[in-house]
Each structure stands twice: as structure tokens, then as C-alpha cells.
Amino acid sequence: MANRPQPSFPEPDTQHFWEGCKAGELRYQRDAEGNVVFYPRAHSTADGSGGLTWHVSSGLGTVYTYSVVRQNRMPGFQELGAYAVAYVDLDEGFRMLTNVVGVANPTADIQIGQRVQVEFEDQDGDDAYPIPVFRPI
């Protein structure tokens, strides 16, 4: 899956997250009270305050749930075999939509509760943003 849809910019909320992916970092935010904010935004979802700070995740998490997609008519995915989409709960307390990769048979080899580690999958094109996906550990 090296030809995935890329994020598009300008988009001020998510640019720093994706620059992090280029640097090999999975970035997330906290507000002044320490509440985790994810997906990235300019305001705290707890109280609307600004001044969020960026942090780098360990990239370790747990599969919250997943599905193996057998059919996707979207270019870039439609010719793939079955692949797994998942919500992964990162240890720092945020949940992201992602893929679980690196298993022979996604239907049999992925389980809810499984521990996973982020990796950044390179994409075609010199300026392409690598995509953060997860592999069981």
C-alpha cells in the first residue's frame, strides 16, 4: 500500500502531525490541564482553551477494534487483497484510525487487545508523507 491517499494541505490543524511522520514521530497534543487532544486541533476539547502543546508518542498501543476490508472500490485500495483497518489505543491515551500490517492472514492473525507498535510506511513520490501504521509485537 504505497499509493495511499495523502493528506492535503494547507490544513492548519494536522500539518504538524504529518511533519512528525516525516521525522519518524507519532505526535499528539495535550492541553494546559494535561488532557490529551487527538485528532490534532487548535483548541482543547475539554474546555475550548488554546495553547496546546505537542508531544511524541512511544508508538505503543493496543488494538481496540478492527475490520478486514474485503472490498473497497477506491483507487489505491481496490486492487489490494484483504487488509485490516483498526482503531488503536495508544498508551498515552489517544485512539487513532489506522491499519494493522505485517500479518500473513489479517482475519486470523489480528485480535482485539493485541499489542502493536507504530511504523511509518513510505509512500511513492519524493515529497510524500509516510503513513503511520501498526504491526503486532
Partner 1 sequence: MAQERVAAIAGIHEYPLRVAPGVSSMQIKADSMKRALDDAGLSWSDVDGLYDALDGEGGGGLGLAAYLGIKPRMIDTTQVGGSSYEFHASHALRDIAAGRTNVAVTTYGSTSASMRVPIGTGGLGRGGASWQQNMEAPYGSTLIANYAMVAHRHMHDYGTTTEQLAQISVATRKHAMRNPEAVKAMTDLQFVKVDEITVEDVLESRIVADPLHLLECCMISDGGGAAVFVSADVARDIKKKPVWIIGSGEATKYRENDGDITTSAGAQSALAAFSQAGVTPDEIDIAMIYDSFSITVAVCLEDLGFCGKGEIGPWMADGHLAFDQPGLTLNTDGGGLSSNHPGMRGLFLLLESVRQLRGESTSQVEGAQLAVAHGNGGLLGGTHTGGTVILAAD
Question: Rounded to an integer, what distance in angstroms lies between the CA atom of residue 21 and that of residue 23?
Answer: 5
Q: Whose CA is closest to 57, among 22, 23, 88, 92?
A: 92
- Does 70 sit near partner 1 (CB under 8 A)? yes
- Does 54 sit near partner 1 (CB under 8 A)? no
| Of the candidate residues 43, 60, 62, 85, the single one contacting partner 1 (CB under 8 A) | 85
Nearest distance from C-beta of residue 92 to partner 1, angstroms:
9
| Of the candidate residues 49, 53, 58, 67, the single one contacting partner 1 (CB under 8 A) | 67
- Does 99 sit near partner 1 (CB under 8 A)? yes
In a 13 Å sphere around the CA of 41, the CA atoms on its Cβ side amount to 15
3-state secondary structure of 19: helix
Q: Would you tell me how many other CB atoms lie within 10 Å of the CB of residue 10?
A: 5
Which positions lie near partner 1, rule CB under 8 A?
Answer: 1, 4-11, 13-14, 17-18, 36, 38-41, 64-74, 76-77, 80, 83, 85-87, 89, 93-99, 107, 112-113, 131, 133
